[in-house]
Chains A and B, each alone.
Chain A
Amino acid sequence: MDIYQDVVCPVCGCLCDDIEVNVENNRVSKVKNACAMGTTKFLNYNSDRLHSPLMRTNGSQQPSSLEESITRVAEMLVNAKYPVVYGLALSSCEAVKVAVELVEEIGGVIDNQTTVCHGPSVQGFHEVGESTASLGEVRHRADLVVCWGCNPVESHPRHFERYSYTVKGRFRKGKEDRKLIVVDVRNTGTAKIADKFIQLEPNKDYELVNALRTALNHEQIQCETVAGIPVEEIESLAETLRTCEFGALFYGLGASHTAGKGRNIESLGLLVRDLNNWTKFVLMPARGHYNVTGVNQVCAWQTGFPYAVDFSRGYPWYNPGETTFVDILRRKESDASLIIGSDPVAHFPIGVSKYLCSKPLAVIDPSNSMTTMAADIVIPSSFAGIESEGIAYRMDGVTFSMKKVVEPPEKILSDEDVLKLILGKVKALKRLK
């Protein structure tokens, strides 16, 4: 039996790097330190697996060879006028780098899960910047943790015990030295353990953030309630935020997806900027997929933009609302899509999912999904962080080297290697044109 220590968990944006994995006969037999999500992934990643490339022939998917599938995908991309490559938040940074080169070569669009996740956060940060810190800094110094529209107890289960609330830090003994405030429309698992729960009305985040800024700056709020919260409670909350020693505001899609979207995050950024007039305060999106931060970083350093990058003009062009995948599908403009480690058929609104399925669709993925079921070409890949190595970024922008603990199934390549083969074939086809 092999025991691997300090394995990085490839599930959520926490990227816990203290996992111990026991491997017997190339199978994961035991997992220590991981949360329920991490343990489940390490023990069950191999179920519902794709074992062979598939190609749709006469309406049904049939097994095919890797070479033939690679050629078909390359032909699809070269022949398309406006292809989109989407996904990569569950891939290594090395795979993202190859994907960017591929999209530049085919003159298409590269987008990632940010577009249906923290895209509004990116737009908010474009406006007002980002007051941030590493999670280590939060662990050692924060005496106030605010969770706004996020639910780490259920979506980032080890966030509190490793980085923010219950953890012992250099200057904080643990939970007894910290306060947790939750702002949410639902009485979530996180809200239930909070020291204070502010239950706002749906779609009223923008109003509440700006009422807090008003109270913080000692101006009068000229109404009795905002977002269903009495003004006295808002003023009290503003005082709590102002008088902490080090505050960390984590937020989720409960803030970035409600009415106002990017403007909500811009306002949260301004709130945190205001708070830094009195104390130290940081703002951080609770990122979901383990390397969605990494795909933003790689896209940004290679193209100048973090997501929704359009190369159809011959140079990178970025305009969320225009070059974002959902909007491209809604306008029925793309004529082929390559999806990497993502399931947009399940996760996009039904109108655009229908259009996505109506055009040539290829998928690189380790497992079955609704998108692989709907695809014309499917190429299986290995699981990054379990069957292949690579770099990933934690939600605070700190990088980690993911480990390989088991061998992938025979003839299954990493998505990085599959993308390199497609890129090579695309270049060869273009030379022939």
Chain B
Amino acid sequence: MNPEDISFLSIKSGDNVKVTTRYGSVILKSSSSNQLNKRGLIYIPYGPYSNRVVGDDSNSSGTPTFKGVQGSVESAIGESVKTLEELVADLRGV
């Protein structure tokens, strides 16, 4: 996350945040990065956490839209990041 965005949310780098898009939401550990030098832009590494907030519609291209998804970020101090085992249990519905 952009360092100024982290300050704007009154949190510190490393605190948990909740990312919400029209596809879902996920709790993540924040990290301040100077690679995000423009405010309002966040980056989530590709994987099981980012895939909870992206859609599966490929618009007939075969490839889901993994980038440029609009969403919101809020402080989630006190909420925990799910483990991979918990994510698998969610997916299997057990």
> Which residue of A has the minimal Cβ distance to B68?
A203
Contact between chains at B34 and A346 (CB < 8 Å): no
Specify which of A120, A186, A349, A373 is in contact with B88 (CB 8 Å cutoff): A373
Q: How far is the CA of A320 from the CA of B62 in the complex (A)?
A: 5
In the bound assembly, the distance between CA atoms of A348 and B52 in angstroms comes to 9
Instruction: Verify if B14 is at the interface (C-beta below 8 Å from A).
Output: no
Q: For the complex, what is the distance from the CA of A62 to the CA of B24, rounded to whole Å?
A: 33
The residue in chain A whose Cβ has the minimal distance to the Cβ of B60 is A321
Q: Which residues of B contact A330 (CB under 8 A)?
A: 56-58
Residues of A within 8 A of B24 (CB): 350
Given contacts A258-B68, A330-B56, whether A348 and B51 have CB atoms under 8 Å apart is yes
Those of A329-354 within 8 Å (CB) of chain B: 329-330, 345-354
Among A186, A326, A358, which residue has its beta carbon within 8 angstroms of that of B62?
A326
Q: Closest residue to B94 on the A side, CB-wise? A: A59
B56: min CB distance to chain A, Å: 4
Mark out the residues of chain B between 41 and 83 whose CB falls within 8 Å of any chain A CB in the assembled complex: 41, 43, 46-48, 51-52, 54-68
- Chain A residues lying within 8 Å of B63, measured Cβ to Cβ, are 115-117, 119-120, 256-257, 261, 320, 324, 326
Q: Do A351 and B58 touch across chains, with their CB atoms under 8 A apart?
A: no
> B-facing mask of A160-202, CB < 8 A → 1, else 0?
0000000000000000000000000111110000000001001
**Cα A257 to Cα B58 with chains together (Å):** 10
Contact of B65 (CB < 8 Å), options: A199, A257, A329: A257
In the assembled complex, the Cα of A119 lies from the Cα of B56 at a distance in Å of 15
* Interface range on chain B (Cβ under 8 Å from partner): 35 or more
Across the interface, do A119 and B61 meet the contact criterion of CB distance under 8 Å? yes
* B92 pairs with A119, CB closer than 8 A: no
Q: Which residues of B contact A373 (CB under 8 A)?
A: 84-85, 88
Interface size on A, residues (CB 8 A): 47
- In the complex, chain B residues whose CB is within 8 Å of the CB of A428: none
Partner of A258, one of B35, B67, B84, B91: B67
Asked if A398 is at the interface (CB within 8 A of a chain B CB), the reply is no
Residues from chain A with Cβ under 8 Å of B66 in the complex: 116, 253, 257
Q: How far is the CA of A329 from the CA of B34 in the complex (A)?
A: 38
Q: How far is the CA of A126 from the CA of B53 in the complex (A)?
A: 31
Residues in chain A near residue B60, CB distance under 8 A = 320-322, 327
Separation of A357 and B51 alpha carbons in the complex (Å): 15
Cross-chain contact of A115 among B62, B87, B92 (Cβ < 8 A):
B62
Report B-chain residues with C-beta under 8 Å of the C-beta of A254. Answer: 67
If the complex has contacts A120-B63, A326-B56, are A374 and B35 also in contact, measured as CB distance less than 8 A? Answer: no
A123 interface residue (CB < 8 Å to B):
yes
B38 proximity list for chain A (CB < 8 A): 199
Closest to B87 in A: A370
Of B51, B57, B59, which contacts A350 at CB under 8 A?
B51
- Subset of 21 A-B contacts with CB under 8 Å: A117-B63, A123-B62, A187-B36, A257-B67, A258-B67, A259-B65, A262-B61, A320-B63, A321-B60, A326-B64, A330-B56, A345-B91, A346-B48, A346-B84, A347-B51, A350-B56, A351-B55, A353-B51, A354-B91, A357-B92, A370-B84
